[in-house]
Amino acid sequence: MGSKNISLRAPVYERLKGYKRPDESFSDTVDRVLDDTRPDWHEFVGILSEEDATRAKAIVAERRERSIRESEAQYDELFGQ
């Protein structure tokens, strides 16, 4: 398989480097980032009613709080605090 060289402005390179996983080449990273088979979250903007969005936010907040409490309890159990 052939290859092509491209030029990127330094800030763009740094952004791309931020997406790169340790086990990936830059070609692999660009291929993954440009993969259009994965859903784009922008497609889902506005699909929930205001009521459903508010309810979803409340559920997420409650689960985050529960997760934090459980993590703190596990930490205390492990480290005797």
Instruction: Note the pTM of the prediction, 2 decimals.
Output: 0.45
Classified as helix, coil or strand, 46 is: coil
Q: Minimal CA–CA distance to 1: which of 22, 23, 28?
A: 28
C-alpha separations of 67 from 32, 46, 53, 60, 73 in Å = 31, 28, 21, 10, 10
Task: Classify residue 22: in a domain, yes or no.
Answer: yes
Structural domain containing residue 47: 39-81
pLDDT digits (tens, 9 = 90+) for 24-77: 999 999 998 888 777 777 778 889 999 999 999 999 999 999 999 999 999 999
Do 30 and 66 lie in one domain? The reply is no
Task: Classify residue 71: in a domain, yes or no.
Answer: yes
Task: For residue 28, give every residue at least 6 positions away whose Cβ sits within 8 Å of its Cβ, in sequence order, or none.
Answer: 21
Number of domains in the chain: 2
Confidence of residue 1 (pLDDT cuts 50, 70, 90): confident
Q: Is the pLDDT of residue 13 over 80?
A: yes
C-alpha separations of 66 from 53, 60, 70, 73 in Å = 20, 10, 6, 11
Task: Classify residue 74: in a domain, yes or no.
Answer: yes
Do 21 and 58 lie in one domain? The reply is no
Do 47 and 80 lie in one domain? The reply is yes
Do 81 and 51 lie in one domain? The reply is yes
Do 43 and 81 lie in one domain? The reply is yes
Two tokens at 37? 């088979």
